Amino acid sequence: MSHVIEAMPDPDFLHVLVTRSAVAPDMLDLRNPAVEEQLRALYTPPRQAWVRMNMIGSLNGRVTGSDGTSDTLSNRADRRILTIIRKMSDAIVVGAETLRNERHLSTRPTWLCVVTSSGNLAGHRISTEDAAASVLVCCPPAARAEVERTLPGAHIHHLESQDGKLPLDGVLTALRDRGLHQIVVEGGNRLISQFLDQGKLDEICLTQAPVFAPNEATSLPGSIAGTKFERELLLEDSAQFLYQRLVTNSPRQSATA
């Protein structure tokens, strides 16, 4: 376990406040190894082709705490759920600023897909070997040399920009063409807002930390789409963090793509 996670608050149980599962227990003991399987059951998506977001926010809707990253908002239960969702996913998608600012480590064996226009990915902590095993960068052709310089070893998929941005359909197709169907988008604000506006998310996983964060920190993503999500699950840990899982019943625009 990394020093950062070791230093985080360590809740010992989760209350199940809302669930649609008839067999979910009322309480999950985070010290019991069986909890991994119980959490997997609560977070399993209904089908293999599935796109969800997973983020943590403060009471004032900010995504970074006093250290300028999400580490100071999070706790060990949140990281445990994040890890379980990652392990159930074929690929994690992030915007380049998240990779740079969160100083991303390898997510091997789950693929990490980074979306960038600039190609400048400096700031991550991923080795060349790990990048070759499990990192895919989607970028315009002109950014290739910069990606090779700042994230050596990574696989590169070229997409043509439309109005200055890479098309999300192109990103999702690049993943599906590699057999990667179960996808979690972990941030940040700007990338997820595009997923929301274009109706590309089946599910929202959102942790709320019971603290306020600096006003100047980046906020949770916004959207003009007004998509309504319905709550499937609400957990509260013993440190009073809330964990919501919401799904949309609207057919996702990319469902048949």
Ligand X SMILES: NC(=O)c1ccc[n+]([C@@H]2O[C@H](COP(=O)([O-])OP(=O)(O)OC[C@H]3O[C@@H](n4cnc5c(N)ncnc54)[C@H](OP(=O)(O)O)[C@@H]3O)[C@@H](O)[C@H]2O)c1
Which stretches of the chain bind ligand X, using CB under 6 A? 55-56, 63-64, 69-70, 94-98, 101-102, 115-118, 120, 165-166, 186-191, 194, 218
| Nearest distance, CB of residue 146 and ligand X, angstroms | 9
| Nearest distance, CB of residue 27 and ligand X, angstroms | 25
10 Å Cβ neighbour count for 58?
A: 22
Residues whose CB is less than 8 angstroms from the CB of residue 239 and which lie 6 or more positions away in sequence, other chains included: 9, 11, 75, 77, 210
Residues whose CB is less than 8 angstroms from the CB of residue 133 and which lie 6 or more positions away in sequence, other chains included: 106, 108, 109
| Nearest distance, CB of residue 252 and ligand X, angstroms | 17
Query: Is the Cβ of residue 24 or residue 148 nearer to ligand X in the bound state?
Result: 148
Residues whose CB is less than 8 angstroms from the CB of residue 230 and which lie 6 or more positions away in sequence, other chains included: 246, 247, 248, 249
Query: Is the Cβ of residue 89 or residue 194 nearer to ligand X in the bound state?
Result: 194
> 192-195: long-range contacts at Cβ-Cβ below 8 A with a sequence spacing of 24 or more?
192/53, 192/55, 192/221, 193/221, 193/222, 193/223, 194/165, 194/168, 195/51, 195/53, 195/168
| Nearest distance, CB of residue 207 and ligand X, angstroms | 8
| Nearest distance, CB of residue 62 and ligand X, angstroms | 8
Query: Is the Cβ of residue 25 or residue 97 nearer to ligand X in the bound state?
Result: 97
Query: Is the Cβ of residue 67 or residue 129 nearer to ligand X in the bound state?
Result: 67
Query: Is the Cβ of residue 38 or residue 198 nearer to ligand X in the bound state?
Result: 198
Query: Is the Cβ of residue 24 or residue 225 nearer to ligand X in the bound state?
Result: 225
| Nearest distance, CB of residue 55 and ligand X, angstroms | 4
Position closest to ligand X via CB: 188
Whether residue 84 contacts residue 43, with contact meaning beta carbons closer than 8 Å, is answered with yes
Whether residue 29 contacts residue 166, with contact meaning beta carbons closer than 8 Å, is answered with no
Name which of 118, 127, 115 is nearest 151 in CA terms.
127
